[in-house]
Amino acid sequence: MPLITDLVKIKQIAEEKEVENDHFQSFLKLQNEQKIDSLTQELNELITPKIDCTKCGNCCKSLMIHITSEETVELADQLNLTQDQLKDQFIEQSEQGQMILNTIPCHFLKNTSCSIYEHRFTECREFPHLHKPHFIRRLFSTMRYYEICPIIFNVVEQLKIELSY
């Protein structure tokens, strides 16, 4: 199946497939977890290199990004700021006491590209987490982004085909 990357089209299809996707999630929960993990990871490896994230940037407009102390040191260095300046401008504490970026969309998103791409945070690098095991235990958190993330959208649609759903 050819990939769909048009963000407007993906949003429209997502609306049309809302019920189908609810049922598909129930179906996935009944499948063998390892089989689904291996299929999802395989599809992710095939599809991700074909999606140009710099033409999207949707996750940067909707995720709350957690940051580690090591990442603040690296970023302050990169931006020529002191730790205090970095924290004043870009960071605050979440209710759980973790450091988070203080805006959504992210400060560092310029148009649809990351302006600190080489130094982006682990959380940014790992989204949409399709390379990780236990996909069927993360369906709610993954499918929340089906309508905005072309990688998730195409992996899920291809997964339906592979599973003859």
Phi, psi of 96 (to 5 degrees): -85, 5
Under rule CB under 6 A, residue 47 binds ligand SF4: no
Among residues 2, 3, 15, 1, which one has the least CA distance to residue 146? 15
CA atoms within 13 A on the CB side of 149: 22
**Contact status: 65 vs ligand SF4 (CB under 6 A):** yes
Residue 121 within binding range of ligand SF4, rule CB under 6 A: yes
* Closest CB to ligand SF4 among residues 36, 148: 148
| Cβ at position 156, least distance to ligand SF4 in Å | 12
Structure tokens at 89: 């401008």
Beta strands in the chain (DSSP E): 66-67, 91-93, 99-101, 109-110, 113-114
Closest to ligand SF4 by CB, 79 vs 116, is 116
Distance (Å) of CA 14 to CA 22, 50, 144, 152, 157: 11, 20, 11, 11, 11
- What type of residue sits at position 72? T
Nearest-5° Cα angle at 42, 6 to 18:
45
Residues in 80-119 at the binding interface with ligand SF4, rule: CB under 6 A: 106, 108-109, 114, 116
Question: Per-residue x/- marks for ligand SF4, 122-161, CB under 6 A?
Answer: --x--xx-------------------xxxx----------
| CB 164, min distance to ligand SF4, A | 26
Q: How far is the CB of 70 from ligand SF4 (least distance, A)?
A: 15
Binding site for ligand SF4 (CB under 6 A): 51, 53, 56-60, 65, 106, 108-109, 114, 116, 120-121, 124, 127-128, 148-151
